[in-house]
Amino acid sequence: MGTSCGLFAVALPLRRLLAAEAWVHELAARLTRFSSRSELSRLNAAAGEWVVVSDEMEAVLRAALRAYELSSGLVNAAVLPAMLAAGYTRPLAQGPTTAMLGGAGALPPLPEVLRVRDGSARVENGTGIDLGGIAKGWMADQLCEMLGPNALANLGGDLRAVGDGPSGGGWPVGLTDVTLMLRGQGAATSSTRRRSWREAHHLIDPRSGLPARTGLDEVSVVAESGYEAEIIAKTALLLGPELAPAYCAARAFAWWLGESHDG
């Protein structure tokens, strides 16, 4: 997944943790856009055609469509062409490629790009999707269903915690310089401080098709699930410092906004 992950559980056999770890590796390999053999890459390559998809892929695609609705279009998985144009064509460990942003424009609405029906999906010609943080938040929630009732799954900062934790007071989770004790909650951070290169970064503003410049460069939130936390954090960052506080207050249990000076 190109990031650090951790699985923790109280009173759970090691074999269950190892099985969950194997599930993460297997599903991440199917959802990545960096392998031409992945399930996601095959879907993007077959643009214009209906493609048979696995149950997990169908669920994540539906989660992406729901995220688009919940964020009023700001969390838009139809971001792949814009990410490629920004130079994010391969894992950043291999270095970015040349950015080609001259023809950038607003992303098309996700429901016009992606269609999902039972057992199959289709992306429109000339488009492509990247499941990114939505997949991580969704997977963290699924992992806690596998590992519960007292477990924590952290997939690169998108996490879900259930139960009372190892000491009975909840699961300790650090957000910025504060440690919170989570029970039955999720957390996520959206940031332009990481996965950045030259003057670009990976978080695309769907209103412009360009790397986001909103006056915020990092947002962390605690919400009901890892999936919801991911959506809220990314939406808040894209809304910027004037609108993000009210948005987070209405949807998150706790939040932190990191301001930048490039909005």
11 to 16, 118, 252: CA distances (angstroms) = 11, 37, 30
Q: What is the pLDDT of residues 12-41, one digit of tens each?
A: 999 999 999 999 999 999 999 999 999 999
Residues 199-239 have pLDDT tens digits of 666 799 999 999 989 999 999 999 999 999 999 999 999 99
Whole-Å CA distances, 137 to 126, 188, 241: 27, 8, 24
Q: Is the pLDDT of residue 75 over 60?
A: yes
Output the average pLDDT for the chain. Answer: 92
Amino acid in position 224: E
Q: Has residue 77 got a pLDDT over 60?
A: yes
Q: Which of 105, 104, 258 is nearest to 192 (CA)?
A: 258
pLDDT band at 97 (very low <50, low <70, confident <90, very high): confident
- Closest by CA to 251, choosing from 39, 123, 1, 67, is 67
**Which ranges constitute the DSSP H helices of the chain?**
14-31, 39-45, 55-70, 80-85, 110-113, 132-147, 226-239, 244-251
* Other CB atoms within 10 A of residue 199 CB: 11
Domains in the chain: ranges and CATH: 5-259 (3.10.520.10)
Q: Mean pLDDT lowest for which of 120-124, 168-172, 235-239, 256-260?
A: 256-260
- For residue 263, the model assigns a pLDDT of 42
d(CA 112, CA 99): 26
Number of residues written out for the chain? 263
